[in-house]
Structure 1
């Protein structure tokens, strides 16, 4: 998809379609929409007065040109109430319009940049939001059907009357980097488990490292054993596909001792182990590596943007299956940190593999940590599918991650980690246990991981609800969403 700047009004642009905006609290069109409305002999106004165009958020009405303007179609897109329109809403509205345009075969698209958004926000941020809206909203998950034919847009024209070329270029670059990193994570999380094994995930990381000039190290099974990473080794024992520990490094601030550690859960398929999950929807467990996908997507963008910061990414990759050597309830594991873990449930495997990764990130010099994981169904019960759970052992660091998420337009909500919750992870025969049943299920995961971060500031993001969408919704297509990628990129840019 190619982005181009045009100084001419959209009403005179020759394209397959143009997007103009309308808000639900206005009885008439304004700005570019008003110009197009005039050219169409007030047909948009007529539909507004008849209630067919309401301007509600995400509403898209397709009109033909009746031979009045060069563009073949006009997509009148609702932004909701004007005073509530922010960059997140703009992004989602653009995404809905772009998805509809693509569905009807639009190849060349023109887009209005609402003047009141430019007045309200930084111009680069507005352009970035529009670019993300188009590129995230029009994303199509790959298919293994033999006869599939994708409809893809080729050129998008952004109409900017007075803004400098440099502003356009900066917004386009940032929008494309953020969107394409998110789409990379979507691609990985959507891959079937037989296509994306731990070894194949490591190959994907190698490709990113080569493309972006990142350092990479990959631990195979033997090296994991040498380092005593028995948590990751135990979870992987039921699978014929051996585990990998993937380490990516970016040092953009060699003068700084501060190092951001990103840890992503990379369980490429999760059956639940011996305490196997129900069969219904087990096929979706190919996405249990969405945390790893988010970290890889973020590292791809960090390598492209080259912020002034240092970042280490650690991805423990394995499968949790039911083979003859699978780890068992009641087993006691000695993790890389030296702490022992009693296994109460084999489907609480994510926190076990993350424990080794968090400890190793600290060993490599990480001074601040964020882990991203599809860790618990309990976070879905608590927060649904719109918001990721955030837990932290450091209020200041937690606030910084929440700020990055807000700027990125991704919703997080903090759950408490009071000392009293530690009772849930105490074991009678080991240092810790990995599960204590239903109460505070999401918080249990955070409290467990906190024991391995110790005094290092940690934010735990539980994305079990946000990693996948059950339907097309704004920037999210049905399926893998790429949750947390843009938050991690923003965090790295602010970390420098």
Structure 2
């Protein structure tokens, strides 16, 4: 998809379709009003007939509007003007693209970017338009023998800006939006692949390809390497699988030599049957999405490299499968992690923290500025936050605030939970240094408490994306979250005032 920014009045635009907003109670936006005047009141007359009231989600496609060179005009309901927020803007943009993707329009000119969104400038609106449009057009049909190629007739989106001075910022916004959208697409593609194709080996191969494309240092640790390092926790999870485990490391050097990197650690469990503590059969197919944390790390590193951010980044992805087998972890087994701490495995389905804890210990060698781990860790997080916000827990409040600000800016939101010492007691074990589960209560928090014991030597945050990494039901599929949040965090860190930026 090609995106460009353009400044000009709507009545002079030759386009397959002009997209304008209409607010509730049939109030035309400023641009819609301009078109109405040029057309001799045609738009207003249609709206007054009641074809579109302006409520959120409504669209109306018009043809042959008088005195307009454009072939079509799409009216998009935007809700109440005073309530036109980030969410409404994103929804209106998505509705517009969805309504037009199956028409004959190969090019559209959107004036939704000129609508006033409280607290947001033209840069934000253009970048969001790119990201939302690409997401709305996304299809995963590469494994279907027949695909409908006509579903993506749109090839060019022109995003209107009010002034010529907005063209420069608009082009920069398009560059950022495209890089983030491509990172999201990569994460979604990897997440949507089935477990028989997207194995730990396949995930490692994709990392190597990204490394070659952007000149990154890529290291893939094999089972023997992990044995030598003493990664007993990670290796215990892989024992039930015929697929060899991998520890994948990507190093992006965009900052100064020796500058402390941001380390992203992503859970790469390519299929999780639960092991001996096997999951129920219903919806177990969705456990192919258990590697979405690792996929988001690949997507974020790819986007950062595409943008040439002046920052050092290390992406670490521990990858394995978790299956039942005669050699698999058994409830009650005790394993020794790379840190030397022992873990009693009370539930083999709490395997994500076992592969992550060794990866966190491995991250210490990079002397990181920050470490952020991303994981589809707990079903408890889905119960607590649903599909709207990822859970955040951290041992460093300024880092948590930065992540939260990045989430607000990108509308890839988080909600911070407490990481109090009182919760640590739930992990007490009679036979090892700790248990890998802490009971039903506060499952998301105790999962993070477990990981925190391996993050004492650096500033660390944990993102539980179990509710946000994929959608279930009719729209089943990976979302690519939290790639937008991660990339925005990295962009902010790369700026001189990144740490203090109020977004």
Query: What is the TM-score with the length of structure 2 in the denominator?
Result: 0.92
How big is each residue's C-alpha offset from its partner over 1:154-205, in whole Å with a ceiling of 9 and x where there is no partner? 1112223423332221111111111111111111111111111000001111
| 1:422 aligned residue | 424
| 2:499 aligned residue | none
Shift of 1:268: 0.5
Shift of 1:443: 0.8
How big is each residue's C-alpha offset from its partner over 1:121-175, in whole Å with a ceiling of 9 and x where there is no partner? 3322221111112112211123422111232221112223423332221111111
Residues of 1 paired with 2:40 and 2:427: CA distance? 69
1:366 partnered with 2:368: yes
How big is each residue's C-alpha offset from its partner over 1:319-343, in whole Å with a ceiling of 9 and x where there is no partner? 1111222111111111111111110
**Alpha-carbon contact 2:240-2:329 (below 8 Å) kept:** yes
1:406 counterpart SS class:
helix
Residues of 1 paired with 2:261 and 2:442: CA distance? 31
1:389 counterpart SS class:
strand
Shift of 1:109: 1.5
Alignment of 1:261-276 (within 5 A): 261-276=263-278
| 2:487 aligned residue | 489
**Alpha-carbon contact 2:19-2:112 (below 8 Å) kept:** no
- Answer with 176-185 or 111-120: which moved more: 111-120
Alignment of 1:369-380 (within 5 A): 369-380=371-382
Q: For the structure 1 residues 422 and 161, does the alpha-carbon distance in structure 2 shift closer, same or farther, using more than 3 Å as the test?
A: closer
How big is each residue's C-alpha offset from its partner over 1:334-389, in whole Å with a ceiling of 9 and x where there is no partner? 11111111101011000110101111111222231111111111111111111111
| 2:54 aligned residue | 55
How big is each residue's C-alpha offset from its partner over 1:234-262, in whole Å with a ceiling of 9 and x where there is no partner? 11111111010001111222256432110
| 2:498 aligned residue | none
| 1:6 aligned residue | 6
- Answer with 363-372 or 46-55: which moved more: 46-55
Residues of 1 paired with 2:261 and 2:348: CA distance? 33
Q: For the structure 1 residues 381 and 343, does the alpha-carbon distance in structure 2 shift closer, same or farther, using more than 3 Å as the test?
A: same
- Residue 250 of structure 1: which of 252, 255, 259 is its match? 252
| 1:342 aligned residue | 344
Residues of 2 paired with 1:42 and 1:270: CA distance? 60
1:20 partnered with 2:20: yes
Shift of 1:484: 0.8
Shift of 1:488: 0.7
Residues of 1 paired with 2:415 and 2:451: CA distance? 18
Unaligned runs of 5+ in 2: 495-503
- Answer with 455-464 or 274-283: which moved more: 455-464
How big is each residue's C-alpha offset from its partner over 1:268-290, in whole Å with a ceiling of 9 and x where there is no partner? 01111111111111111111101
Shift of 1:119: 8.9
| 1:122 aligned residue | 121
How many pairs align?
491
Tell me which stretches of 4 or more aligned residues in structure 1 moved more than 4 Å: none
Residues of 1 paired with 2:48 and 2:476: CA distance? 34
- Answer with 40-49 or 10-19: which moved more: 40-49
| 1:399 aligned residue | 401
**Alpha-carbon contact 1:5-1:160 (below 8 Å) kept:** yes
1:279 counterpart SS class:
coil
Unaligned runs of 5+ in 1: none
**Alpha-carbon contact 1:258-1:367 (below 8 Å) kept:** yes
Query: What is the TM-score with the length of structure 1 in the denominator?
Result: 0.94
- Residue 206 of structure 2: which of 204, 213, 217 is its match? 204
| 2:83 aligned residue | 84
Q: For the structure 1 residues 305 and 418, does the alpha-carbon distance in structure 2 shift closer, same or farther, using more than 3 Å as the test?
A: same
Residues of 2 paired with 1:471 and 1:52: CA distance? 31
Residues of 1 paired with 2:456 and 2:285: CA distance? 35
Shift of 1:51: 4.4
- Answer with 189-198 or 105-114: which moved more: 105-114
Shift of 1:43: 4.3
Residues of 2 paired with 1:277 and 1:403: CA distance? 36
Higher relative CO (Cα under 8 Å, sequence separation at least 6) belongs to 1
Shift of 1:405: 1.1
**Alpha-carbon contact 2:113-2:126 (below 8 Å) kept:** no
**Alpha-carbon contact 1:10-1:111 (below 8 Å) kept:** no
Residues of 2 paired with 1:478 and 1:46: CA distance? 41
1:453 counterpart SS class:
coil
Q: For the structure 1 residues 81 and 350, does the alpha-carbon distance in structure 2 shift closer, same or farther, using more than 3 Å as the test?
A: same
Q: For the structure 1 residues 408 and 99, does the alpha-carbon distance in structure 2 shift closer, same or farther, using more than 3 Å as the test?
A: same
2:484 counterpart SS class:
helix
Residues of 2 paired with 1:93 and 1:30: CA distance? 13
The RMSD of aligned alpha carbons is 2.0
Shift of 1:207: 1.2
2:392 counterpart SS class:
strand
How big is each residue's C-alpha offset from its partner over 1:425-476, in whole Å with a ceiling of 9 and x where there is no partner? 121111111112211111111111001001422111111111112478xxxx
1:238 partnered with 2:240: yes
Residues of 2 paired with 1:65 and 1:119: CA distance? 34
| 2:71 aligned residue | 72
Residues of 2 paired with 1:324 and 1:74: CA distance? 64
1:173 counterpart SS class:
helix
**Alpha-carbon contact 1:99-1:137 (below 8 Å) kept:** yes
**Alpha-carbon contact 1:216-1:249 (below 8 Å) kept:** yes
- Answer with 143-152 or 339-348: which moved more: 143-152
Residues of 1 paired with 2:113 and 2:351: CA distance? 48
Shift of 1:210: 1.3
Residues of 2 paired with 1:239 and 1:471: CA distance? 28
**Alpha-carbon contact 2:188-2:479 (below 8 Å) kept:** yes
